[in-house]
């Protein structure tokens, strides 16, 4: 199949999922066209089967907001015609499904029919999309898609609760290339980061308020009162300054390593003992799955799709959002006994197997085939 993929190319779960999906589909013989405003961060390979088409938005001083959706829909029309793209897989209802629908209509005028598969990732539903300013456009974009997927059962339920949806919604979870995380590093260079007696705790996110990074600091503060520990803090975002300030106030700056954005997540996870993800909401929690695939147990909130990924008492523990005391207690429980820690690590890796890309990517292929067959 010739498949057009539209996503946000930045560091963030939806862009990662879209990119990894495109790369895997290309390995399975499909021709993939990424259409977005920047080369996606994890897209390293441009080959015969993988193409990247940049959407340019000309700046015009009269416009307070530059019309990205217009530029995107025009680019989609051009690329579908030029490359014979058969199906568009767009990640996010707004603005991507919205722009794709306009492209589809323009193409129909010329007798070309291209169906749209829309994947909802959460931000477009639970955070931004349900705002009254956007709700009609989100509802319209979902209902006009030819097929719709969500990344968890929880996000499907939220979508049906928040919007008037007439379409069937398929749940296709986030996935992971387990081979990438089966790195076979021997010592993971752990010694560079911590002493032998110190436990290594890790958090990775884009440091938005939804990630509740202050809870990460509070949990770590409680852990390091109980045992020697270091915190690996990875990511950039609006909460970074306040996190640094809080660490300074608590007198733990020397125990926290700030990495900023990193392309070496697998190496950091390799030497981590515990992963913290206390998010306010998380439609799936790809970061938790990446940790689990590396054999790192997860302490998370029980919001959104997290209970579908992090299995309470097996791969880690779940607590109510904001219940820092419970999260700290659970973290100390796992870390304070090395035999117990080992069994949580093994379970984390085992639970991650359910989300192997070889099991999940064919589900998207089946949806494309089914959608094309119905055209």
Q: Give the residue from 153, 285, 274 showing the smallest Cα distance to 224.
A: 274
Q: Pick between residue 285 and residue 295 the one whose CB is nearest to ligand GMT.
A: 285
Give the nearest distance from C-beta 283 to ligand GMT in angstroms.
4
Q: Pick between residue 286 and residue 311 the one whose CB is nearest to ligand GMT.
A: 286
Using CB under 6 A as the binding rule, whether residue 151 contacts ligand GMT is answered as: yes
How many residues of this chain interact with ligand GMT, rule: CB under 6 A? 19
| Sign of the alpha-carbon dihedral angle for 268, 180, 178, 6 | positive
Q: Pick between residue 346 and residue 356 the one whose CB is nearest to ligand GMT.
A: 356
Which region among 60-68, 189-197, 202-210, 317-325 touches ligand GMT (by CB under 6 A)?
202-210
Site residues for ligand GMT, window 119-138 (CB under 6 A)? Answer: 121-123
**3-class state of residue 65 by DSSP:** coil
Using CB under 6 A as the binding rule, whether residue 210 contacts ligand GMT is answered as: yes
Interface mask toward ligand GMT for 272-311; x: CB under 6 A:
---------xxxxxx-------------------------
Q: What is the DSSP string of 204-253?
A: ES---GGG-HHHHHHHHHHHHHHS-EEEEEE--STTHHHHHHHHHHHT-G
Break the chain down into helix, strand, coil percent, rounded to 5: 45, 20, 35
- Whether the Cβ atoms of residue 53 and residue 34 lie closer than 8 Å to each other: yes
Residue of minimal CB distance from ligand GMT?
13
**3-class state of residue 87 by DSSP:** strand
Site residues for ligand GMT, window 76-95 (CB under 6 A)? Answer: none
Chain position carrying tokens 């700030």 = 258
Tell me the two tokens of residue 76: 């989609």
Using CB under 6 A as the binding rule, whether residue 149 contacts ligand GMT is answered as: no
Residues binding ligand GMT (CB under 6 A): 12-15, 17, 121-123, 151, 174, 205-206, 210, 281-286
């Amino acid at each position: 199949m010739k498949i057009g993929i539209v996503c946000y190319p930045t560091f963030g779960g939806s862009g990662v999922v879209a990119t990894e999906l495109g790369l895997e589909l290309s390995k399975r013989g499909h021709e993939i066209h990424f259409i977005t405003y920047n080369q996606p961060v994890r897209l390293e390979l441009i080959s015969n089967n993988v193409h990247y088409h940049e959407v340019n938005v000309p700046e015009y001083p009269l416009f307070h907001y530059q019309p990205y959706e217009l530029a995107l829909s025009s680019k989609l029309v051009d690329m579908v015609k030029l490359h014979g793209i058969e199906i568009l897989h767009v990640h996010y209802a707004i603005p991507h499904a919205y722009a794709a629908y306009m492209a589809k209509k323009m193409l129909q005028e010329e007798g070309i029919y291209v169906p749209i598969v829309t994947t909802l990732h959460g931000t477009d539903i639970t955070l931004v999309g349900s705002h009254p300013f956007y709700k009609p456009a989100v509802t319209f974009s979902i209902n006009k898609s030819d097929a719709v997927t969500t990344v968890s059962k929880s996000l499907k339920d939220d979508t049906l609760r928040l919007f008037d949806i007439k379409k069937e919604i398929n749940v296709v979870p986030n996935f992971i290339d387990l081979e990438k995380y089966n790195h076979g590093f021997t010592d993971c260079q752990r010694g560079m980061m911590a002493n032998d007696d110190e436990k290594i705790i890790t958090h990775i996110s884009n440091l938005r308020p939804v990630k509740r990074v202050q809870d990460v600091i509070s949990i770590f503060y409680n852990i390091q009162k109980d045992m020697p520990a270091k915190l690996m803090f990875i990511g950039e975002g609006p909460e970074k300054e306040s996190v640094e300030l809080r660490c300074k106030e608590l007198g733990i700056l020397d125990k926290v390593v700030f990495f900023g954005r990193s392309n070496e997540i697998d190496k950091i996870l390799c030497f981590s003992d515990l992963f913290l993800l206390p998010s306010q909401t998380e439609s799936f929690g790809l970061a938790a799955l990446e940790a689990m695939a590396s054999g790192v147990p997860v302490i998370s909130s029980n919001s959104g799709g997290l209970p579908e990924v992090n299995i309470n008492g097996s791969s880690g523990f779940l607590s109510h959002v904001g219940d820092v005391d419970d999260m700290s207690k659970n973290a100390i429980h796992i870390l304070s006994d090395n035999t117990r820690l080992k069994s949580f690590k093994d379970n984390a890796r085992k639970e991650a197997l359910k989300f192997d890309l070889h099991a999940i990517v064919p589900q998207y292929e089946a949806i494309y085939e089914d959608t094309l067959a119905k055209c």
